[in-house]
C-alpha cells in the first residue's frame, strides 16, 4: 500500500512539475560576417637530405632486440 501511494505521489509531482515549465523560445539575432582567405604557401626545399636505414637482414641489431625470447618461453608437456 505504501509503495503504491509513493508511486502515485511521484507521478503526480512529476506531471505537475512538467506542466509548470513555461518554456518560451527566444529568438537570437544572428550576425553574418564575411571571411577573407589569404593563404601564402612558402615551400622550402631542404638540400641536406639524410637517408634512414632500413634493416633488411635477419641478424640486424634492431630485429634481434625486438624479437627476444625468455628461457621460460618454451611449451611444456603435461
pLDDT of residue 21: 64
Asked if residue 29 has pLDDT above 80, the reply is: yes
Binning pLDDT at 50, 70 and 90, where does residue 10 land?
Answer: very high
pLDDT of residue 6: 95
| Mean pLDDT score, 13-22 | 78
Cell of residue 15, nine digits: 506531471
CB 44 within 8 A of CB 37: no
Per-residue pLDDT tens digits for 46-74: 676 677 666 566 666 777 777 777 777 77
> Could you identify the residue written with the cell 505537475?
16
Which of 50, 71, 70, 53 is closest to 62 using CA atoms? 53
CB 55 within 8 A of CB 62: yes
What does the H/E/C string look like for 3-29? HHHHHHHHHHHHHHHHHCCCCCCCCCC
Amino acid at each position: 500500500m505504501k509503495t503504491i501511494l509513493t508511486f502515485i505521489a511521484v507521478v503526480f509531482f512529476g506531471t505537475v512539475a512538467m506542466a509548470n515549465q513555461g518554456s518560451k523560445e527566444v529568438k537570437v539575432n544572428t550576425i553574418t560576417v564575411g571571411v577573407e582567405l589569404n593563404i601564402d604557401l612558402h615551400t622550402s626545399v631542404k638540400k641536406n637530405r639524410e637517408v634512414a636505414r632500413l634493416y633488411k637482414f635477419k641478424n640486424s641489431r634492431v630485429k634481434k632486440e625486438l624479437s627476444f625470447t625468455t628461457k621460460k618461453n618454451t611449451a611444456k608437456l603435461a
